[in-house]
Structure 1
Amino acid sequence: MAVGAGARVAEGARSSITAIRRALRLPAPEATVTVPEGADLGIRGLSPLYTPNDEFYRVDTALTVPQVDPTTWRLVVDGRVDEPFELSFDDLVGMGLDEYSITLTCVSNEVGGDLVGTALWWGVPVREILRRARPHGDADMVLSHSIDGFTASTPLAALTDDGLDAILAVAMNGEPLPLDHGFPVRMVVPGLYGYVSATKWLTRLQVTTFAEDEAYWTPRGYSAQAPIKFSSRIDTPRPGTSVEAGRVALAGVAWAQGVGIDRVEVRIDEGEWQAATLSVPVNADTWVQWALPWDATPGTHFVTVRAVNAAGEVQTADRAPIAPDGSTGRQRVLLTVV
């Protein structure tokens, strides 16, 4: 099994979780993501389709990164269920891994911010685990617990829907989860902000109700439920930079999880909205890249971007702060052309 082989190699370095992780050999996923041609536009300064692990944003409540040994790790599944049980790491991996392409976003991400990233995750659907536990009919929430005391309140429906790929992830971009991204096991739920779904260093899934329990951030002024608001971002040219007059590549990313992006539009100063070229989407849970060539003239110019999702909704211009359930608005940057 996964831990058996790796942990024996690292037996003499049991005190070093880094060494154990390095020795860990996970089985290849049974199903993999097909990345279509044209999914990455390859424009300089544009975020790559998949964010490297060492560049992926990190937001959590851990003052120090927890050191969790997969050989002793256990997941408790209990609460309002008919069959509470525990899983070891080998039990989880033995259920069979699949690969998923999912963008994650933090509720603290301001419009145009960098608290968003995309990775290829290996994991097991949460619905398979909850199906074994058999939640009670009155349950509507799963309170996921981290070893550091953090909790997240995820709607039960988001974890049991056959059409949603909520997973317990053990690998990120082809390698075991980095320690600071939740090694050995974390949750990844497309379409929900991380504070209500993306629990790292996971130890417990407690089936409960929103009326009975609340998660870490709820009494601190954030909503108990928080679907990700679709948005767009300008990656290049960087805000506040100077560019030479002539043909300039404007480019960035946009996301509308569970729905998908229909188009991205860009406006120069107060001109007409222009449709950008989109990359070929991997799926509705993965951001897309966009690009628009611009014949820049000398002076200062404002560049604004907005997305339109596949349901025909236009990204709102109304500004809202990150609390209680995510920021809104359109990114507008000032560029100087020389």
Structure 2
Amino acid sequence: MKSTGEADKGRGARSVGAGAATGVLAAAAALGAGELAAGLTGTASPVIVVGDALVDNSPSWAKEFAIAVFGIYDKIALLAGVYAAIALFAAVLGVLSLRRPVVGYTGLAAFAAVGAVAVAVRRADEPMAVVPVVVGALAGEAALVLLLRAVRGGRPAGSPVAGVGGTRRGRPAGAPQGVSSRRRFLLTGAGVLVFAGAAGGIGRYLASGAGIAEKRAALRLPPAADPLPPLPAGSDLGLRGLPPFTTPNPVFYRIDTALSVPRVDPDRWRLRIHGMVDRPLELDYDALLRRRLVESDTTLTCVSNQVGGDLVGNTRWLGVRLDDLLREAGVHSGADQILSTSQDGWTCGTPTEAVLDGRDALLAIAMDGEPLPFAHGFPVRMVVPGLYGFVSATKWVTDIRLTRFSDARAYWARRGWAVRAPIKTMSRIDVPGPLAEVDAGPTTVAGTAWAQRRGIEAVEVRADGGPWREADLAEVPGIDTWVQWSTEFDLEPGRHAFEVRATDNSGYTQTEERAEPVPDGATGWHSVQITTV
């Protein structure tokens, strides 16, 4: 038989477990109800609202670290962290609530307060976003009342009891008392869990925009007024390990601040062009499609791309020329900034001259022959060749205001990043991959290089610090896309290191000096090490 002390320890452990489960289940009810309310109201869930606020108020180094470590999965990592923190916080609250229920109620109220503040800070123009926060908090409070009553064997949650580890009639006061009490707690917990799962699932389904996905799939986009010719036959070298010249939509990189991809109904989408203009414009989606559509082969690059990184992609875009719309609106001479806003509130500042200088700056509606994927801005996004995405590539764009850089600062400008950020000349070795093991003898080295708005004049590669060798360049449709390159080395068995540098058509050759992406893009030569056998 167990001693009295051992029995008490066992009951205490069960009591702590019941308290932790109580807190986690109450939090699950709150989150599920919040998701359902968000789906019904068409707003963001409490977790997304709080997560967006965390992203907005995190230091730049933290965001760069997340992108460097997790890449395109940085948002999944952040959400996982948020949910883990909520679960831990809720478990602690649950244990403390067994002794003082007011702690749990106060904790849920604090969660609601944090959510309300996040709404005020991040979504001031979307007041309905506070509704899911309030609904979630109320559902969590109700669930906590039921669970605490069950864990006390049916007594009201606020009834005075001994603390966890104390005794009442020989049992820990905070623990389920007997088989019937445990059964009551398990049944109540199961009911709360079912509610949380059902509410959350329905809310997620509503938020997924299934109807919007059907509208996107049914779209038949008008053709371009003057379609571009097919890509040059030699634009893609077709080498194994070398990314294709046209990046498939499913693997096109995605870097933005949206924790949840907006699902914007094209029937409800509107774009305002206003500010320092003579004639403000407002367009709906159908009106945009009726305008003259053009195609553009353009490579996009993220400013967070490290030397040799993969946050770059190339495709053929379809859209309306943005300069045509701006000239129709009549831009004032002093308006040096195009401040664009996405549906989720993110802002981007683009130099006005970069749109009006004749380049293919578009309000894009399609990429690679299909309507924009949701993750890439459906129904409409901006594409401005030659500028890093954080100053040019607003997804889910709904507002364009002509203003001055001295009067308004965009999202990343407020965090110390550059306001004028032309893409830097860059090259990358894709084949062989880092630390690859290949056969000695003739070895093909290949990769990509880009210098949008200037184009690539030459790519040079060297092995083991030897003389530079000029690589062969593939064909390109214009100066706004990347170019594939390749060359061959005859290698002896052993370890070898390759370096690459590019020269653009302005005569500038990449610097060897390494610089981090902040504030206007990385620099340096890319290198890889391999072993030949």
Q: Deviations over 1:215-260 (max 9, x none)?
A: 0011212111111001000111111111111222110000111111
Contact 2:501–2:510 (CA under 8 A) maintained in structure 1 = yes
- For the pair 1:301 / 2:503, whether they are aligned, the reply is no
- Name the residue aligned to 1:180: 375
1:3 aligned partner: none
Query: Which residue pairs with 2:397 in the alignment?
Result: 202
Residue number among 232, 246, 255 corresponding to 2:441 in the alignment: 246
* Structure 1 residue 33 displacement after superposition: 2.4
Q: Distance in 1 between matches of 2:453 and 2:419?
A: 20
Q: Does 1:16 align with 2:211?
A: yes
Q: Determine the C-alpha separation between the residues in 1 that align with 2:345 and 2:239.
A: 41
User: How far off its partner does 1:101 sit?
Assistant: 0.2
Structure with the greater relative contact order (CA < 8 A, sep ≥ 6): 1 or 2?
1
Which of these two proteins has the greater Rg computed from alpha carbons?
Answer: 2
Residues 87-108 of structure 1: per-residue CA shift (max 9 Å, x gap): 0111111112111100000000
Following TM superposition, by how much is the alpha carbon of 1:32 offset from its aligned partner in structure 2, in angstroms? 2.2
Instruction: Choose which of 444, 454, 469 in structure 2 pairs with 1:274.
Output: 469
Matching residue of 2:384: 189
Cα displacement string for residues 58-111 of structure 1 (whole angstroms, at most 9, x for unaligned residues): 001111000101111100000111111200111111112111100000000001
Q: Secondary structure at the match of 2:365?
A: strand
How far off is 1:38 after superposition? 1.2
The separation in 1 between residues aligned to 2:216 and 2:248, in whole angstroms, is 18
Query: What is residue 327 of structure 2 aligned with on the other side?
Result: 131
Q: Structure 1 CA distance, aligned partners of 2:380 and 2:243? A: 26
Name the residue aligned to 1:5. Answer: none
Q: Is the 8 A contact 1:255 1:287 kept in 2?
A: yes
1:90 to 283, 286, 300: 286
Q: How many residues get paired? A: 325
Aligned-pair identity in percent equals 53
Give the distance between the partners of 1:206 and 1:318, measured in 2 at CA: 38
Q: Secondary structure at the match of 1:16?
A: helix
Structure with greater helix percent: 2
Is residue 209–residue 263 contact of structure 2 (8 Å, CA) maintained in 1?
A: no
Unpaired segments ≥5 residues, structure 1: 1-12
1:37, CA displacement in angstroms? 2.4
Seen in structure 2, the aligned counterparts of structure 1 residues 14 and 113 have a Cα distance that, compared at 3 Å, is closer
Counterpart Cα distance in 1 of 2:502 and 2:433: 19
Specify which structure has the higher proportion of strand: 1
TM-score by length of 2: 0.60
- Which one of the candidate residues 431, 435, 455 is aligned to 1:236? 431
**Offset of 1:20 from its aligned partner?**
1.0
> What's the counterpart of residue 78 of structure 1?
274
Aligned match of 1:10: none
AA in 2 matched with 1:141: Q
| Structure 2 residue 286 is matched with structure 1 residue 54 | no
TM-score by length of 1: 0.94
Q: CA deviation at 1:196?
A: 0.4
Report if the CA contact (8 A) 1:32-1:100 is conserved.
Answer: no
**Residues 35-54 of structure 1: pairs in structure 2 closer than 5 A:** 35-54=231-250
- Structure 1 residue 159 and structure 2 residue 350: aligned? no
